[in-house]
Amino acid sequence: MALGARTDPLLAHLFAVEVDGVIVGGFAEVTGLGLELETFDYREGGVNEFLHRLPGPARAPANLVLRRGVATSDALWRWQDDAARGRIRRRNGAVVLLDEGEEAMRFTFVAGYPVRWTGPELRAGSAVAALESLEIAHRGLSRRGGGSA
């Protein structure tokens, strides 16, 4: 990319979710995309002016949470139900940001499995979409695309 070239930010509403390379449906919201580097303090003997803050392992601070309208497809429900019955199947997946229909950036999670499903809140006096959510624990997150700064 040339110096000074304009790069508009990607829009947060254009994305897809894949599990094992297959798009698993449209989602209204994805949260939990994040990584942090744990640190630990080390007090060196005789040095009283400061603490050494040393790096530890990287980790995802939260599980991925996928929210969508209650779907007629039940592939994700079966994955959650199997996990609830003790048949844990770890799967790789990705949240893919789109720009004009083309992949612009990919957040890949490794060895994920469902840890919580939340059903819709049903109210007779409301006309909003019935939303369900699936929470996925995973071993790590990586990012591909988006160029470099």
Q: Is 66 part of a structural domain of the chain?
A: yes
Q: Is 110 part of a structural domain of the chain?
A: yes
Q: Is 127 part of a structural domain of the chain?
A: yes
Closest C-alpha among 69, 64, 73 to residue 30: 64
> How many residues are there in the chain?
149
What CATH number does residue 116 fall under? 2.30.110.20
Domain that holds residue 68: 15-34+61-145
Q: Is 137 part of a structural domain of the chain?
A: yes
The residues near 8 (Cβ < 8 Å, ≥ 6 apart) are none
The pTM of the full predicted model, rounded to 2 decimals, is 0.80
Count structural domains, the chain: 1
Closest C-alpha among 76, 71, 65 to residue 34: 65
As a three-state string, the secondary structure of the chain is CCCCCCCCCCCCCCEEEEECCEECCCCCEEECCCCEEEEEEECCCCCCCCCEEEEEEEECCCCEEEEEECCCCCHHHHHHHHHHCCCCCCEEEEEEEEECCEEEEEEEEEEEEEEEEECCCCCCCCCCCCEEEEEEECCEEEEEECCCC
pLDDT tens, 86-98? 999 999 999 999 9
* CB 103 within 8 Å of CB 88: no
pLDDT tens, 62-81? 999 999 988 777 888 899 99
- What is the predicted pLDDT for the residue at 115? 96
Q: Is 73 part of a structural domain of the chain?
A: yes
Q: Is 102 part of a structural domain of the chain?
A: yes
Rounded to whole angstroms, the Cα distance separating 18 from 12 reads 16
Q: Is 118 part of a structural domain of the chain?
A: yes
pLDDT tens, 18-69? 999 999 878 889 999 999 999 999 998 888 898 999 999 988 889 999 999 8
Q: Is 97 part of a structural domain of the chain?
A: yes
